[in-house]
Structure 1
Protein backbone atom coordinates (compact mmCIF):
# COMPACT_ATOMS: atom_id res chain seq x y z
CA UNK A 1 0.00 0.00 0.00
CA UNK A 2 2.76 2.48 0.88
CA UNK A 3 4.64 1.64 -2.30
CA UNK A 4 1.49 2.22 -4.32
CA UNK A 5 0.91 5.67 -2.82
CA UNK A 6 4.51 6.75 -3.31
CA UNK A 7 4.50 5.44 -6.88
CA UNK A 8 1.25 7.33 -7.62
CA UNK A 9 2.97 10.48 -6.38
CA UNK A 10 5.93 9.84 -8.68
CA UNK A 11 8.34 9.40 -5.81
CA UNK A 12 11.34 7.12 -6.05
CA UNK A 13 12.09 5.10 -2.95
CA UNK A 14 14.49 2.53 -1.62
CA UNK A 15 13.05 -0.65 -0.16
CA UNK A 16 15.22 -2.50 2.35
CA UNK A 17 14.10 -6.04 3.21
CA UNK A 18 14.90 -6.59 6.89
CA UNK A 19 13.02 -9.89 7.11
CA UNK A 20 15.95 -12.25 6.76
CA UNK A 21 18.58 -10.07 8.37
CA UNK A 22 18.47 -9.72 12.17
CA UNK A 23 21.17 -7.04 12.10
CA UNK A 24 19.21 -4.85 9.66
CA UNK A 25 16.00 -5.41 11.64
CA UNK A 26 17.76 -4.33 14.84
CA UNK A 27 19.05 -1.19 13.09
CA UNK A 28 15.56 -0.41 11.81
CA UNK A 29 14.00 -0.94 15.24
CA UNK A 30 16.57 1.31 16.87
CA UNK A 31 16.19 4.03 14.26
CA UNK A 32 12.37 3.76 14.45
CA UNK A 33 12.24 4.35 18.22
CA UNK A 34 11.44 0.72 18.98
CA UNK A 35 8.81 0.17 16.30
CA UNK A 36 9.24 -3.33 14.91
CA UNK A 37 6.49 -3.63 12.32
CA UNK A 38 7.19 -3.22 8.64
CA UNK A 39 7.14 -1.10 6.72
CA UNK A 40 8.82 1.69 8.63
CA UNK A 41 8.95 4.71 6.40
CA UNK A 42 11.40 7.59 6.35
CA UNK A 43 11.23 10.60 4.11
CA UNK A 44 14.71 12.01 4.21
CA UNK A 45 15.66 11.99 7.87
CA UNK A 46 12.03 12.20 9.02
CA UNK A 47 10.56 8.99 10.42
CA UNK A 48 6.96 8.87 9.23
CA UNK A 49 6.02 5.57 10.86
CA UNK A 50 4.15 2.87 9.03
CA UNK A 51 1.76 2.71 6.11
CA UNK A 52 -1.17 4.02 8.17
CA UNK A 53 0.78 7.11 9.19
CA UNK A 54 1.85 7.71 5.58
CA UNK A 55 -1.79 7.67 4.44
CA UNK A 56 -2.81 9.90 7.37
CA UNK A 57 -0.26 12.49 6.25
CA UNK A 58 -1.69 12.30 2.74
CA UNK A 59 -5.28 12.61 4.01
CA UNK A 60 -4.32 15.73 6.00
CA UNK A 61 -2.63 17.23 2.93
CA UNK A 62 0.80 17.18 4.59
CA UNK A 63 2.53 14.45 2.60
CA UNK A 64 3.26 16.42 -0.56
CA UNK A 65 5.04 19.16 1.39
CA UNK A 66 7.13 16.59 3.24
CA UNK A 67 8.03 14.88 -0.03
CA UNK A 68 9.02 18.22 -1.55
CA UNK A 69 11.36 19.13 1.31
Structure 2
Protein backbone atom coordinates (compact mmCIF):
# COMPACT_ATOMS: atom_id res chain seq x y z
CA UNK A 1 0.00 0.00 0.00
CA UNK A 2 1.25 3.50 -0.81
CA UNK A 3 2.21 5.53 2.20
CA UNK A 4 1.22 9.16 2.29
CA UNK A 5 4.22 11.47 1.95
CA UNK A 6 2.92 14.71 3.45
CA UNK A 7 5.75 17.05 2.43
CA UNK A 8 5.84 16.24 -1.27
CA UNK A 9 3.64 17.43 -4.10
CA UNK A 10 2.25 13.92 -4.57
CA UNK A 11 1.43 13.69 -0.86
CA UNK A 12 -0.35 17.02 -0.91
CA UNK A 13 -2.34 15.94 -3.97
CA UNK A 14 -3.31 12.70 -2.22
CA UNK A 15 -4.36 14.63 0.88
CA UNK A 16 -6.41 17.01 -1.26
CA UNK A 17 -8.17 14.07 -2.94
CA UNK A 18 -8.91 12.48 0.45
CA UNK A 19 -10.31 15.75 1.83
CA UNK A 20 -12.52 16.17 -1.23
CA UNK A 21 -13.85 12.64 -0.83
CA UNK A 22 -14.62 13.19 2.87
CA UNK A 23 -16.31 16.52 2.05
CA UNK A 24 -18.52 14.87 -0.58
CA UNK A 25 -19.47 12.02 1.76
CA UNK A 26 -20.30 14.47 4.57
CA UNK A 27 -22.53 16.60 2.39
CA UNK A 28 -24.35 13.55 0.99
CA UNK A 29 -25.06 11.99 4.41
CA UNK A 30 -27.30 14.73 5.84
CA UNK A 31 -26.74 18.24 4.48
CA UNK A 32 -29.24 19.79 6.94
CA UNK A 33 -27.51 18.62 10.13
CA UNK A 34 -25.64 21.40 11.94
CA UNK A 35 -22.77 19.10 12.94
CA UNK A 36 -22.34 17.91 9.36
CA UNK A 37 -22.44 21.51 8.13
CA UNK A 38 -19.72 22.51 10.61
CA UNK A 39 -17.54 19.53 9.69
CA UNK A 40 -18.07 20.23 5.99
CA UNK A 41 -17.09 23.88 6.54
CA UNK A 42 -13.81 22.88 8.23
CA UNK A 43 -13.07 20.31 5.54
CA UNK A 44 -13.79 22.92 2.87
CA UNK A 45 -11.32 25.28 4.55
CA UNK A 46 -8.71 22.51 4.65
CA UNK A 47 -9.37 21.76 0.97
CA UNK A 48 -8.80 25.40 0.03
CA UNK A 49 -5.55 25.60 2.02
CA UNK A 50 -4.29 22.33 0.54
CA UNK A 51 -5.23 23.37 -3.00
CA UNK A 52 -3.37 26.68 -2.61
CA UNK A 53 -0.26 24.83 -1.42
CA UNK A 54 -0.43 22.42 -4.38
CA UNK A 55 -0.89 25.27 -6.87
CA UNK A 56 2.02 27.24 -5.38
CA UNK A 57 4.31 24.21 -5.43
CA UNK A 58 3.37 23.38 -9.03
CA UNK A 59 3.99 26.94 -10.19
CA UNK A 60 7.33 26.97 -8.37
CA UNK A 61 8.32 23.75 -10.14
CA UNK A 62 7.31 25.16 -13.53
CA UNK A 63 9.32 28.36 -13.02
CA UNK A 64 12.55 26.42 -12.39
Same fold, TM exceeding 0.5?
no
TM norm structure 1: 0.29
Structure showing greater radius of gyration is 2
TM norm structure 2: 0.31
- Specify which structure has the higher proportion of strand: 1
The answer to which structure, 1 or 2, has the higher relative contact order (CA under 8 A, 6+ apart) is 2
- Specify which structure has the higher proportion of helix: 2
